Structure 1
Amino acid sequence: MPYEKLEISTPKPVLSWANHSLGADETKMAKNVASLPFVFKHVALMPDVHLGKGALVGSVVATKEAIVPAAVGVDVGCGMCAIKTPFTASQLEGKLKQIRLDIEAAIPVGFHENKETDKTVLNWQGWREFKDLHSGVQRLETKAMKQMGSLGGGNHFLEVCVDAEEQVWLMLHSGSRNIGNMLAQNHIGSAKELAKLADNRLPDPDLAYFIAGTPEFAAYWHDLQWAQGYARFNRDVMMARFKRVVEKHLAGGKPTKALLSVNCHHNYAEKELHFGEEVYVTRKGAVRARSEDYGIIPGSMGAKSFIVKGKGNAESYCSCSHGAGRTMSRNKAKLQFSLDDLIQQTDGVECRKDAGVLDEIPAAYKSIEQVMANQSDLVEVVATLKQVVCVKG
């Protein structure tokens, strides 16, 4: 659908693809961001937009000569990875539970980490820069190495999916783990201290920012790019292990070649060219969707997911949604739904069905079909996937 310009009074307009009215808190958050003096042209809201911290999740904010660390968020570089395998759905019959158990044994989830660091992880070139990161994280190098190739918790997941042509896909969602979180928190704290010293009257303390050309900006930008690289490689490491597990069951352990691979961030910032000007683009819960860019838009653990190709819509800053988007908080979901509800809503999916994942129940999310309908001008669908195995953190 085409976007609508929100009827709110702000220095820069807010364009929305959500096709619904924002709540009072969401509207206030959108106004706060659109009122920042360095926002470029407009703010774009994706169809899955919902409350975040400082900025809305599902927002795309382009800025000139400044960046807001909290708008990027603390899970720096969080994103998705997917591969299309040469396997077909019929090969999965009778093997789903064991595949799930083997995935859980091969890839640490939640607060767990790898007991040993393998050669692939040790050879990552990013470790050479670790000593140059924010001084508060040097003690975390060993932990960062052990967490490389681990999933994390919350809405992070690994899934075996099947598309409409009965082809098997592997898909996962994860980010920069504890090291990205710590780097982000350190810089957010620094930005807030600078705002206090400068007596900046911000509409929200979480919108504290760094100005380009300052040492603080340079330090944040360096650490941000490092953490985004960590997150991308973390997904690559997990996907390689994930693929080996599935190959063990479906190909007798013989390596196979992926028919298509996609690895994309949805919590990050990059320098890009838009409307003829170089700007800093922060996508907080949004995927880059330039013409021919591949992206991944997952539903909940009981809904469809989509592999997409971007249409390069200029007004969205060449972006699309990063998922379905929550309709309620985790605490509210736990209070409103029972384990019986979870079992019913994940029928046909080999996954955990216990209180530990109740906050991820499908009913806590928006309809992914509606979200996709609202962004037909942003992306085209390449493949529609339905999970048959889901591993949560």
Structure 2
Amino acid sequence: MERSYNVIPTDAGVPIKAWTVGVPFDAGAEAQLRNVASLPFIHRWVAVMPDAHQGIGATVGSVVATDGAVIPAAVGVDLGCGMMAARTSLSASHLPDTLRGLRVAIEAAVPHGRTDNGGKNDRGAWRSPPPAQVEAWGRLEPRFKEIVEKHPRVGRGASIEHLGTLGTGNHFIELCLDEEDRVWIMLHSGSRGVGNRIGSYFIALAKQEMRRFFVRLPDEDLAYLPDGTKHFHDYMQAVSWAQDFAALNRELMMAQVVRALRGSGELPAFEATLEAVNCHHNYVAREHHYGKNVLVTRKGAVRARTGDLGIIPGSMGARSFIVRGLGNPESFCSASHGAGRVMSRNEARRRFTVADHAAATAGVECRKDRDVIDETPAAYKPIDDVMRAQRDLVEIVHTLRQVVCVKG
């Protein structure tokens, strides 16, 4: 297969390999990537996924392999954010004619959104966490206490109250149909408030370290923590914990959704344990690439080693894909985490109306109000173009179209 990426040369540092052929690729993202590529500890090159768009410090949709340091902003603040999907034993013929009841049942079972400025009456948090959350938190809490003892600010906010909750923004829960009209449950969320605190705290700490040692950077958000230092160790410990929190968060929500659907009275008995997938797309991992053990940060990218199953969602009105990795070494065995935004949330709110959003999500049981216009399908890149651009990174196993979508 001929090469499907562009090589962006840089004046200083490593090159950039961008799987962005045929998709929008904004100048702001390219400028950020050039900044990353100029850092002295980048391994081989920077890989760019087709859903790439400008982020804070580092580009969303970038894969950065480093030797001897980690850049907290290249991991992001929604630590461990990712996807989970499970195929059920239901088919389209088992679904009721009107799907609103299923959406309401899911919304009642999973706290979502954010109110009260995140205070005690926040509808997106548990006031009294259920037993499953308490048991899961019991497994997470000892390690969290170790982190908080060293960095108390990380502990100031919700923790167990967000375990098993959806959040806001682009996080969602969907019911989808595959190419054989089988019903899937798919959801997207991460480590919620506690992961955000950890990410934000260590980004700020890394900036302090750069100032303390008079390190000049092309962008202060690219502040890094050198391997072997105490802050590096603490950050890696905290990120690992947040990734575990995020995976448990998705597992708990999946169980809540299954219970809600079974209790809705609108579906026959079903199983939901088939072909389950649970994968991160904001994380850091130690891996071996091109003869070296390195740290690979994927900010808006999934691991796609040969045979790895992953999930690449579209938007509220577009298809999603269960994929299998092709193990392309040039992308550091990675692929995109979704369609990727083509405009900011504010721009989407300015440009589109509720009527536009309703038309774009016709046939999907979902919110069609002003508060979700920033997530309307036209705010994202065309998912088919994104999949075409990464045809040498993954192969499509299932194509999903959503029929119910719950947004925070």
| TM-score, normalising length: structure 1 | 0.97
Deviation at 1:257, TM superposition (A): 4.2
1:25-174 equivalences under 5 Å are 25-111=28-114, 112-124=124-136, 125-133=139-147, 134-140=151-157, 143-174=158-189
Which shifted more, 22-31 or 190-199?
22-31
Amino acid at match of 1:4: N
- Asked if 1:183 is matched to 2:198, the reply is yes
Determine the C-alpha separation between the residues in 2 that align with 1:59 and 1:270: 14
- Does the 8 Å CA contact 1:244/1:255 hold for their aligned counterparts? no
Show structure 2 runs of 5+ residues with no match. Answer: 115-123
- Asked if 1:341 is matched to 2:356, the reply is yes
Map of 1:23 onto structure 2: 26
Q: What SS does the corresponding residue of 1:160 show, helix, strand or coil? A: strand
Determine the C-alpha separation between the residues in 2 that align with 1:87 and 1:16: 40
Q: What SS does the corresponding residue of 2:263 show, helix, strand or coil? A: helix
Deviation at 1:248, TM superposition (A): 2.9
Map of 1:284 onto structure 2: 299
Q: What SS does the corresponding residue of 1:324 show, helix, strand or coil? A: coil
Determine the C-alpha separation between the residues in 1 that align with 2:367 and 2:152: 39
Determine the C-alpha separation between the residues in 2 that align with 1:334 and 1:252: 36
Show structure 1 runs of 5+ residues with no match. Answer: none
Determine the C-alpha separation between the residues in 2 that align with 1:206 and 1:33: 10
Q: What SS does the corresponding residue of 1:307 show, helix, strand or coil? A: strand
Q: What SS does the corresponding residue of 1:123 show, helix, strand or coil? A: helix
- Asked if 1:304 is matched to 2:304, the reply is no
Map of 2:342 onto structure 1: 327
Amino acid at match of 1:8: T
Determine the C-alpha separation between the residues in 2 that align with 1:261 and 1:268: 20
Show CA shifts across 1:299-324 (max 9, x none).
00000000001000000000000000
- Does the 8 Å CA contact 1:192/1:208 hold for their aligned counterparts? yes
**Number of aligned pairs?**
391
Determine the C-alpha separation between the residues in 1 that align with 2:266 and 2:101: 15
Amino acid at match of 1:39: I
Q: What SS does the corresponding residue of 1:308 show, helix, strand or coil? A: strand
| Matching residue within 272, 275, 280 for 1:265 | 280
Determine the C-alpha separation between the residues in 1 that align with 2:316 and 2:193: 24
Amino acid at match of 1:138: G
- Does the 8 Å CA contact 2:84/2:188 hold for their aligned counterparts? yes
Deviation at 1:250, TM superposition (A): 7.2
Amino acid at match of 2:229: T
Deviation at 1:188, TM superposition (A): 0.8
- Does the 8 Å CA contact 1:110/1:152 hold for their aligned counterparts? yes
- Does the 8 Å CA contact 2:317/2:364 hold for their aligned counterparts? yes
Map of 2:310 onto structure 1: 295
Which shifted more, 181-190 or 254-263?
254-263
- Asked if 1:8 is matched to 2:20, the reply is no
- Does the 8 Å CA contact 1:17/1:45 hold for their aligned counterparts? yes
Output the aligned Cα RMSD: 1.4
Amino acid at match of 2:330: E
Show CA shifts across 1:129-157 (max 9, x none).
121113212343xx211110000000000
Determine the C-alpha separation between the residues in 2 that align with 1:72 and 1:39: 14
Determine the C-alpha separation between the residues in 1 that align with 2:347 and 2:257: 33
- Does the 8 Å CA contact 2:57/2:74 hold for their aligned counterparts? yes
Determine the C-alpha separation between the residues in 2 that align with 1:223 and 1:253: 42
Percent identity between matched residues is 50
Determine the C-alpha separation between the residues in 1 that align with 2:326 and 2:26: 29
Determine the C-alpha separation between the residues in 2 that align with 1:21 and 1:147: 35
Q: What SS does the corresponding residue of 1:186 show, helix, strand or coil? A: helix
| TM-score, normalising length: structure 2 | 0.93
1:221–1:334 distance in 2 versus 1, CA, 3 Å:
same
